[in-house]
Chains A and B, each alone.
Chain A
């Protein structure tokens, strides 16, 4: 396997390898998180789905009116975007306490920390799956045509998950060390929701399009899944942006994790 010197030098990489091997554990832990929500209420996470549905219904009609858009195009657009954005932003905000919640395990076992990051990814992926029926319903009501491009949802989702992985790891690390950053992350995610084309469309940005659309990572992350849901192929620049961000993000996250992995147990 790996030499002791390698293990001492790249503890973050070793952690990652370890958690990949334990896929059964984090799949189960993520699923258990969802099961617990079902246990408290009969319909469980579908309460979230209902509120998403109500939100999309009300806001969809309101903003279609305000923006003077055709509801049959605008509402599916909002439904798809919101169904993706909500679990994504929940994931980032939850990541601020990933390691802090796992304190007991981190202090008393050699469990790879990234297990808890994947657990959060799986949990929110399942929440996303719960939001999908809303989009399907909306798509049927407004007869969004089936299109071959819809299959692009799979590579798009995969790229989104790859990016969520490093993002969750980085946020977990920073927020374990600096406890005041938790609030900051929540605020940033709230702001991103308004400055990202979710309720408004990229085409409406006009002169500020470069900043809020082309250079906005949140736009590309959402659109890489949203466009396929609507039967549209994401732009080439979105594919490039998301792939580049995945590679760059992981290089950054791993460098950071290698450097600070040993310290996490002292921070929690």
Chain B
């Protein structure tokens, strides 16, 4: 049974200014019992009271403006951020594809990077060996795979990392939009490969600005605004609400809390 459950989860992200990064100043602050110029810790309430439950077969799309909390929510589920309050329950193996450049080392060859990243994503060395040719073939890099990746163009680099990170066997897949793309010819192949990956997973959480992607891959959607869930439900309905709220679009607000 694969499931993800969030109960009233909040995430506060403190903002560290240059002064607080200096030990000398931190010590001084302690001794004088709080220097006024430094002040109390400032933080952003990135997620507020998020609750939802995902089970086998759920493909959920996260919708919202930049800064609405989509990436924070993905990072929370991935275990990058810990909840400030609330409870997370996860059963099943999580794979997070949040960044295309994960684990790439410029000095290593394409093949070596395939192994490095594969191991980082939880494959065994045997699995890496088994999939190496398939990954290499999909990347379309041919003999370049034996060269250090610093000789690659940006597009080739993207092909390589995309080919590796999509070769995994996740149960729960977290996907951030920026992953695909590349040149047009590759974009289509990439889209197909993402589709095949998504078919293999039990639970999908996809954050994207692309409504096409959300409509194609998701059966549920969640609209986030300022770190809160505005509405959750069927993809079409949620997108409609998103559009209607967008009509009177307001500028981004930054409300740091002091505590």
Which chain A residues lie closer than 8 Å to B121 at the CB level?
A: 109
Q: Name the interface residues of A245-268: CB closer than 8 Å to any CB of B.
A: 261-262, 265-267
Q: Which of A106, A107, A110 contacts B94 (CB 8 A)?
A: A110
Min C-beta distance of B114 to chain A, whole Å: 12
Q: Name the interface residues of B93-115: CB closer than 8 Å to any CB of A.
A: 94, 96, 98-99, 101-103, 105, 107-108, 112, 115
Which chain A residues lie closer than 8 Å to B102 at the CB level?
A: 104-105, 108-109
Closest to B115 in A: A28
Which chain A residues lie closer than 8 Å to B112 at the CB level?
A: 32
A129 at the interface (CB under 8 A from B): no
Q: B131-155, CB under 8 A of A: which get 1 and which 0?
A: 0000000000000000010000000
Dominant SS among interface residues on chain B: mixed
- Asked whether, in the complex, the Cβ of B119 is within 8 Å of the Cβ of A28, the reply is yes
Cα separation A219 to B75 with both chains bound (whole Å): 44
Cα separation A231 to B151 with both chains bound (whole Å): 50
- Asked whether, in the complex, the Cβ of B120 is within 8 Å of the Cβ of A179, the reply is no
- Asked whether, in the complex, the Cβ of A266 is within 8 Å of the Cβ of B16, the reply is yes
Given contacts A108-B96, A108-B98, contact A266 B120 (CB under 8 A): no
Cα separation A105 to B108 with both chains bound (whole Å): 17
- Asked whether, in the complex, the Cβ of A262 is within 8 Å of the Cβ of B82, the reply is yes
User: Interface range on chain B: under 10, 10 to 19, 20 to 34, or 35 or more?
Assistant: 35 or more
Number of A-B contacts (CB under 8 A): 79
Chain A: how many interface residues by the 8 Å CB criterion? 30
- Asked whether, in the complex, the Cβ of A29 is within 8 Å of the Cβ of B116, the reply is yes
A111 at the interface (CB under 8 A from B): yes
Min C-beta distance of B25 to chain A, whole Å: 9
Given contacts A11-B82, A262-B82, contact A104 B99 (CB under 8 A): yes
Which chain A residues lie closer than 8 Å to B120 at the CB level?
A: 25, 105, 109, 111
Which chain B residues lie closer than 8 Å to A42 at the CB level?
A: none
Dominant SS among interface residues on chain A: helix
Q: A97-120, CB under 8 A of B: which get 1 and which 0?
A: 000000011111111000000000
A194 at the interface (CB under 8 A from B): no
Which chain B residues lie closer than 8 Å to A62 at the CB level?
A: none
Min C-beta distance of A122 to chain B, whole Å: 14
Residues of B participating in the A interface, judged by any CB pair closer than 8 Å: 13-14, 16, 21-24, 26, 75, 78-83, 87-89, 94, 96, 98-99, 101-103, 105, 107-108, 112, 115-116, 119-121, 124-125, 148
